A = this chain, B = another copy of it.
Amino acid sequence: MSGLDVDASSNGRGSDDWYRSWTHFRVARSSAGYCRVTFGHPPINTITATTVAELAELVGLIERDPDLNVVVFDSASPDFYLAHYDVENDPSRTAALGVGPTGLPAWLDVLVRLSRAPVVSIASIRGCARGAGSEFVLACDLRFASRENTLLGQFEVGIGVIPGGGPMARLARLVGRGRALEILLVADDFDGPRAEQYGYVNRLIADDRLDDEVEAIASRLARFDHEAIARTKSYVDEVTLPANSELGPPLDDFRELFGRPAQQAQWARLQELGLNADSDLERHLGKRVVEVMPDER
């Protein structure tokens, strides 16, 4: 651990690496202690191999910055926080990401390292965050969400696969068995009030207050002692984080189940209906996912 004697000559804005040109988000470092990352990958902020690669680089910067106390992740789109993963019809792009420093595949690696970093990560949620988007917010330390405009969900079981990015491990510990099973198995959308009731998010904030309140929380955290944050968080980490070994097997299951012809066909039909576009399907994915199921009735 470091941070007890930060060199003020670093001027609190981090190294030049923060200012490279990111493509799926922009980064604003308003003070030494505080960084804001705003997702912007139109039209609906899907997560692709490019997003994962950039997040992996960003998390490395977060881990190594001795001045940084807090990172806020928000979205430039009012309707989509992070829609879900888009394999871009080319699984080789995702496969090429390989494994990260933890030895886990890149997406899992990003989530694990973010959750263990000695920095407070805050998801400031407005719009839809499903699948990998939900997995991302679950890996953040704090989740604040728009009261009027939030939809969270793990829709994977609805298309015949299982979630690959760890939500079984995280939701089971966060909201308890019954509510975790409902989120994961019924696989429907959760609006803000139900997400708050279930503990899926810390709490709701009125949409027109969300940005200001999260800003106030982040500004407060930015002023705190880095070492106090890092050590306090590490003790909570020990009790609450899943072992890395829990996370790999579900991702293998996801790949196996997604590779089945029926699931490939469902995915193709979802794309025809508007998946990955700013569509009615995307805005009501939890409900509409059943439309593409083979009708056995």
Contact = CB atoms under 8 A, between A and B. Distances in A.
Interface of A: 4, 12, 31-32, 120, 141-143, 156-158, 160-163, 168-169, 171-182, 184-188, 194, 196-199, 201-203, 217, 220-221, 223-225, 227-229, 231-233, 235-236, 238-242, 246, 249-250, 253, 257, 260, 262-263, 290, 293, 296-297
Nearest to A201: B178
B142 A178 contact: yes
Contacts of A31: 297
Q: Give the interface centre of A176, A186, A188 by most chain B CB atoms within 10 Å.
A: A186
Please give me the 6 A-B residue pairs with the lowest Cβ-Cβ distance, nearest first: A160-B225, A177-B240, A168-B235, A172-B239, A162-B232, A174-B176
Nearest to A266: B225
Q: How many copies of this chain does one complex carry?
A: 3
A interface, over-half SS: helix
A163, A203, A246 interface centre (most CB from chain B within 10 Å)? A203
Given A157-B224, A220-B188, A232-B163, A173 B176 contact: yes
B185 A232 contact: yes
Contacts of A187: 224
A158 to B, nearest CB: 6
Contacts of A297: 31, 223
